[in-house]
Amino acid sequence: MKSEKTYNLVIAGFGGMGSYHGQLVEQAERIAVHGAYDPIEYRMDLARSRGYRTYDSFEAVLEDQEVDIVLIATPNDVHKELAVQALQAGKHVVCEKPVTVSSAELSEIVRAAEEAERVFTVHQNRRWDEDFLIVKDLVEKKKVGEVFHLESRVQGANGIPGDWRQLKAYGGGMLLDWGVHLLDQLLLLTNSRIESVHADLSYILGTEVDDGFTATIKFKDGLTAVIEVGTTNFIKLPRWYVKGTEGTAVIRDWDLSGEIVTRNREVEHVEPKPIQAGKGLTKTMAPPSEESTVRRPIEHVEDLSEGFYANLVSTLEGASKQAVPNNEVHRVLTLIEAIFESAENRSVIVREI
């Protein structure tokens, strides 16, 4: 008989992301926001205004036998402590990214989850972003041939988000913010192991944490990738730039504008015409002839996978595997540690990841 249980979830940390999760859960089936806890009173006022039950302490949340799931949306530095406490209290746990500030801390959480026989999962929500799904489809179906280089960027000119994200003690900085998403997406695009990492962190804004970074990553199968996050870019570079043996694809921004240009296999190659380049002529750097290429718009893809919270319910009932496996999250953290190490030592890290 199919279960009809509704799972009660409490949000620990009712700031921007915590309140956003409230909206996501309200849209999901068979899971409900049971309440919220935050030590800042005005946030509890906001939770009450939405009709949520509020708690005086995190311990009170854990003592509530009606609570099935604890969602952790606090500053990054306390994720491990809260997650372990919740798991040991018999609760399933959803944690915002970055799950922890080190791979060793994640290992402690996973051990606690195994010992408690509870589900622990991380909200890597940008695995469902359409721009990423388009690129994933493009790579898997070899729409530009074998992909040998890709670039993934998010850039803006508004600086680091306010509050604790500008403080090192809380796990702030853009590598642990947007970087987690872009690196997670990258690792889902290839089955190859990483061979080397080289990175630079940006401190243009003068804060104690990075306001951006650039990482060059080489995989054992020959794929190279440039991952970049910037908060001081008044003109943005493309969101995605993908080079394959048969063509190139670009997605310029969140509106999914862009194009795919591939070799035209139906006609013989037509030499490009030289162009005026500065004070000279060049054929090498001229655009390929129109006859030799095919241009088409970015192709949208239909996402048939379960959403994050639908998958969580299925996982709790043993009907599905976690959409965000903890070993994949651990690999992202290991890569982040290599990026920090490369930037600090100003060196190329040669290590299988």
pLDDT digits (tens, 9 = 90+) for 87-120: 999 999 999 999 999 999 999 999 999 999 999 9
Geometric angle at alpha carbon 26, from 24 and 32, rounded to 5°: 115
Mean pLDDT on 208-226: 97
Q: Provide the pLDDT for residue 269.
A: 79
Tokens coding 26 = 């309200």
Report the chain's mean pLDDT, rounded to a whole number.
95
Res. 288 pLDDT band, cuts 50 70 90? confident
Question: Is the per-residue pLDDT at 2 higher than 80?
Answer: no
Per the DSSP assignment, residues forming a β-bridge with 200 are: 214
- Nearest-angstrom CA–CA distance, 154 and 132: 12
Res. 75 pLDDT band, cuts 50 70 90? very high
Structural domains of the chain sorted by starting position, each given as residue range(s) with its CATH number in brackets: 7-123 (3.40.50.720), 127-257+298-304+335-350 (3.30.360.10)
Per the DSSP assignment, residues forming a β-bridge with 243 are: 149, 248
The Cα diameter of the chain in Å comes to 77
pLDDT digits (tens, 9 = 90+) for 324-338: 999 999 999 999 999
Which of helix, strand or coil describes residue 182? helix
Q: Provide the pLDDT for residue 241.
A: 98
Q: State the DSSP H helix or E strand holding residue 152, giving kind and residue range, or none if neither.
A: strand 147-155
Question: Is the per-residue pLDDT at 290 higher than 90?
Answer: no
Question: Is the per-residue pLDDT at 267 higher than 90?
Answer: no
